[in-house]
């Protein structure tokens, strides 16, 4: 009850609406929590041994007795949207929902939501490691099933450019200018190619989708929390690099998302934390440290022991924003800069977005230097020139009057960490 009652949550959503804010709920239908979950005791049909997930037995969405399990999910979805007035749902890790039915859970869930008569638009957002563009298709600009997908590929290309990190799955994005341009222009960097980290093909062609089918971000709770110490980009990367990738992300015609504190440059860590009892808690702590064995910095047991204990109260407390830091001059300056960026988006990018019915095109200018263009149905062109490298690079074409410039840019030459945005009218 520390977070309040159901009625308190309803009042929170309604209060947000009075301030012109939409509220989207994060829902998890790929697994049940390992602690306090007694479903297997009184409703074993909820689970199946036919499939397995990283969290153990899969939820039974396609086997014998699966009908009431599926209906449970559909009714839960309706409950949040109808009774709590949420404006949409973000479905966690749907790639871990295993369902080989003729009509799988995701397809039927979207159909059921679209059939609800709620008198307002509902946004359905996926987190889907498989990059399945099929769920995001439109007709006459309207989403047939899902509104957008959480776009990890944009995060990965921007993160590796700004930090130079190449561990784990970052290795296939590091210094790959083609993936940088493709993720910015078309949404997915992997569109059916083999991803070595996974050992198989990943993704489907996404260039026909409008940019608004993707949610772009420089950081989020997963990408920070999955780091050993939960450190943010601003705590280690060069300030000019952080500004450059942020200026790319917040003016991108994809849907931009800021993680808490990003708007004022917080360097507060967001380490992974949990609250499990006894043996389960110890297992999570050991597992958390073991998973970093493959990283060069954590080859030794001593290095892994320095990773924060997710069970410790101090770990949880360290993840809470210290709002007093907002008063620091550097944080105030970053907040004002972010406000100017968002104002530029409102004035120059938002008016173009309805005209963008498909992805853009890109040209590689140099290493981590790209020109990206999105052409609207009326001939308007949104143009990005970006040099995400710590040295100047030539070769950019004339872009007309820029509405935003980060770093030094003069004609065809962009300085280190320089970003230039322009709109060319027909």
Q: Active-site residues: which are they?
A: 92, 127
Residues composing the chain: 426
Helix axes 177-186, 152-163, angle to 10 degrees: 140
The residue written with tokens 């935003």 in the block is 404
Other Cβ atoms less than 10 A from the Cβ of 363: the count is 15
How far apart (Å, rounded) are the C-alpha atoms in residues 293 and 289? 7
Nearest to 393 by CA among 405, 403, 408: 408
How far apart (Å, rounded) are the C-alpha atoms in residues 189 and 191? 6
Q: Looking at residue 398, what DSSP letter applies?
A: P
How far apart (Å, rounded) are the C-alpha atoms in residues 344 and 366? 27
How far apart (Å, rounded) are the C-alpha atoms in residues 394 and 386? 11
Nearest to 101 by CA among 149, 63, 139: 63
Per-position DSSP letters for 14-41, written without gaps between them: HHHHHTT---EEEE--S---SSS--HHH
Q: Strand 214-217 relative to strand 148-150: parallel, antiparallel, unpaired?
A: parallel
How far apart (Å, rounded) are the C-alpha atoms in residues 258 and 260? 6
Buried b or exposed e, range 170-181, using 16+ CB within 10 angstroms: bebbbebbebbb
Determine which helix (DSSP H) or strand (DSSP E) holds 330, and give its type and residue range: helix 329-344
Residue 243's contacts (CB-CB under 8 Å, 6 or more residues apart) are 337, 406, 407, 417
The encoded tokens of residue 2 equal 């520390």
Confirm if 128 and 95 have CB atoms less than 8 A apart.
Answer: yes
Other Cβ atoms less than 10 A from the Cβ of 399: the count is 20
The encoded tokens of residue 304 equal 């892994």
How far apart (Å, rounded) are the C-alpha atoms in residues 231 and 219? 11
Determine which helix (DSSP H) or strand (DSSP E) holds 182, and give its type and residue range: helix 177-186
The encoded tokens of residue 258 equal 């800021």
């Amino acid at each position: 009850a520390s977070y309040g009652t159901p009625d308190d949550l309803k009042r929170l959503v309604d209060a947000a609406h009075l301030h012109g804010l939409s509220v989207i709920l994060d829902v998890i239908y790929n697994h049940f929590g390992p602690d306090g979950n007694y479903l297997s005791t009184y409703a074993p049909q909820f689970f199946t041994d036919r499939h397995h997930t990283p969290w153990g037995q899969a939820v039974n969405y396609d086997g014998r007795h699966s009908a009431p399990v599926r209906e449970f999910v559909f009714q839960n979805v309706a409950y949040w949207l109808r009774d709590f007035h949420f404006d949409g749902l973000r479905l966690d890790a749907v790639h871990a929902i295993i369902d080989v039915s003729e009509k799988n859970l995701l397809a039927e869930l979207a159909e059921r939501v679209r059939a609800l008569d709620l008198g307002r638009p509902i946004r359905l957002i996926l987190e889907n490691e498989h990059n399945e563009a099929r769920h995001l298709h439109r007709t006459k600009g309207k989403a047939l099933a899902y509104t957008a997908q959480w776009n990890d590929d944009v995060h990965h290309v921007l993160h590796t450019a700004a930090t130079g990190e190449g561990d784990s799955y970052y290795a296939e994005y590091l210094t790959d200018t083609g993936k940088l341009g493709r993720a910015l222009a078309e949404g997915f960097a992997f569109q059916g190619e083999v991803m070595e980290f996974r050992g198989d093909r990943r993704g489907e062609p996404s260039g026909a989708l409008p940019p608004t089918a993707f949610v772009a971000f420089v950081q989020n709770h997963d990408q920070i929390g999955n780091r050993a110490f939960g450190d943010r980009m601003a705590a280690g990367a060069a300030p000019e690099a952080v500004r450059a990738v942020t200026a790319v992300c917040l003016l991108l015609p994809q849907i931009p998302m800021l993680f808490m504190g990003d708007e004022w440059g917080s360097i507060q860590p967001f380490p992974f934390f949990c609250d499990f009892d006894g043996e389960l808690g110890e297992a999570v702590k050991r597992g958390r440290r073991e998973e970093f064995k493959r990283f060069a910095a954590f080859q030794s047991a001593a290095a892994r022991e320095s990773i924060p204990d997710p069970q410790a109260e101090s770990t949880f407390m360290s993840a809470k924003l210290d709002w007093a830091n907002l008063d620091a001059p550097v944080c105030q300056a970053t907040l004002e800069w972010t406000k100017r960026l968002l104002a530029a988006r409102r004035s120059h990018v938002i008016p173009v977005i309805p005209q963008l019915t498909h992805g853009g095109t890109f040209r590689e200018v140099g290493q981590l230097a790209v020109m990206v263009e999105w052409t609207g149905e009326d001939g308007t062109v949104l143009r990005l020139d970006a040099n995400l490298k710590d040295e100047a690079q030539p070769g950019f074409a004339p872009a007309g009057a820029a509405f935003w410039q980060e770093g030094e840019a003069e004609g065809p030459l962009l300085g280190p960490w320089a970003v230039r945005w322009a709109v060319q009218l027909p």
